A and B are shown apart, each in its own frame.
Chain A
Amino acid sequence: MNEPAIRDIWVYLSASPLLGLTITLVAYGLAYRLYLKTGSNPLVNPVVTSVALLIAFLLATGTAYDEYFEGGQFVHFLLGPATVALAVPLYQQFSRLRQLWLPVTISLVSGVVIAAGSSIALAWLLGGSREIQMSLAPKSATAPVAMGIAETIGGIPSLTAVLVVATGIVGAVLGTKLFEWMRITDDSVKGIAMGVASHGIGTARAFQVSSQMGAFSGLAMALSAFATALVVPWLVDLIGI
């Protein structure tokens, strides 16, 4: 094949969403295999590996993010239906939830306030701009929810999406160690903390520990998405920033 032919193919590919979508799935497939190969080591989180692979590929080929997102958006879009789908584990765990409704409610509301409050306070103390503070505030909620909140309170939604992913990774990587250190053995406690602090990425990790921890994490993520949407704009108003 001569050079112009390759260039023609590249021009075609970079103008179509096919490439962005395919490389997303291929990178995730590779990252997931690597994760399993290392015995599900939380440090080799498949989101980190696939994001790193994709950024390296895009930089190497000089592809802009917007061009990549033409294809990536099809995967990103599924976050919406996935949020709706959380109603199913929520409904199925409802009998457990009914018994634990008081501890869960208290932990959830405090967790959501602590997540947003500590983000705003720390970012402010460390000299972050208001835009950064507001982009960080909803970071523990799942991506579509956090982006919506960031927009209402004056953050940058697309930056929030990145911070949400990073938060999920920090929680997924450190969570089990922290619980070990706190000597917590109860899967419902671990699941609630995981879901409140690091949403879907933490929930994916929780499902690997046990299905009960996963269900509770999913439940906490669903409820805290709802609580964050209600509490954070009000909290920002209250602090008056």
Chain B
Amino acid sequence: MNFLNGITLLLVYQLAGEITVRLLAVPIPGPVLGMVMLFLTLMIRGKTPEPLQNASTALLSHLSLLFVPAGVGMMAHFGRIAEEWLPIALTLFLSTIITMVATAGIMQVTTRWFVRPGNGGGQAGE
């Protein structure tokens, strides 16, 4: 029952997110708005209910599994990917490296500047 309550809560927030997105015609995906709504609820309540904790840990600890059916979708796009494989493969590879390196670099520099001058900031506030 515990796990069921947690998963129900997640679905209720996702549903609320989907409905709000459609009513207000905002260009944000429903689950993302649901996440924001749940985050605000937790901020107001000041604690995470245990069923919610259990359900979210269960879902997030097997996050990679959830991407598998979408990955298998590759076989439906073999033709398209074969046609434009070079721009697709190189863009994927280079853009991911650029994003990773740039974000890490910016985060490291800004942490040093704003949080703890002279330190990487990793232990800030501990």
Contacts and interface: CB of A to CB of B under 8 A. Distances in A.
Interface of A: 24-25, 27-28, 45-47, 50-51, 54-55, 58-59, 65-66, 68-69, 72-73, 75-76, 78-92, 94, 96, 99-100, 102-104, 106-108, 110-111, 114-115, 118-119, 122-123, 126-129, 132, 136, 139-140, 143-145, 148-149, 152, 156, 158-159, 161-168, 170-171, 174-175, 178-179, 182, 184-190, 192-194, 196-198, 200-201, 203-204, 207, 218, 222, 225-226, 229-230, 233
B48 A54 contact: no
Contact of A229 (B14, B28, B53, B122): B28
10 contacts: A65-B73, A65-B76, A69-B73, A73-B69, A79-B67, A162-B73, A166-B92, A171-B100, A182-B105, A233-B27
Given A72-B72, A103-B121, A197 B39 contact: no
Given A88-B53, A102-B115, A159-B77, 15 more contacts: A24-B69, A47-B71, A55-B74, A80-B30, A81-B11, A86-B56, A100-B121, A103-B114, A118-B95, A143-B67, A159-B80, A189-B122, A193-B104, A201-B63, A226-B36
Given A82-B59, A226-B32, A55 B75 contact: yes
B19 interface: no
A88 B13 CA distance: 13
A152 to B, nearest CB: 6
A193 B108 CA distance: 10
Given A81-B7, A163-B92, A174 B29 contact: no
A115 B99 contact: yes
A151 to B, nearest CB: 10
Contacts, number: 325
B5 interface: no
Interface residues of B, number: 78
Interface in B86-126: 86-88, 90-108, 110-111, 113-115, 120-122, 124-125
B17 to A, nearest CB: 7
Nearest to B112: A103
Q: Which 6 A-B pairs have the closest CB atoms?
A: A72-B69, A128-B87, A85-B56, A186-B122, A111-B103, A193-B104
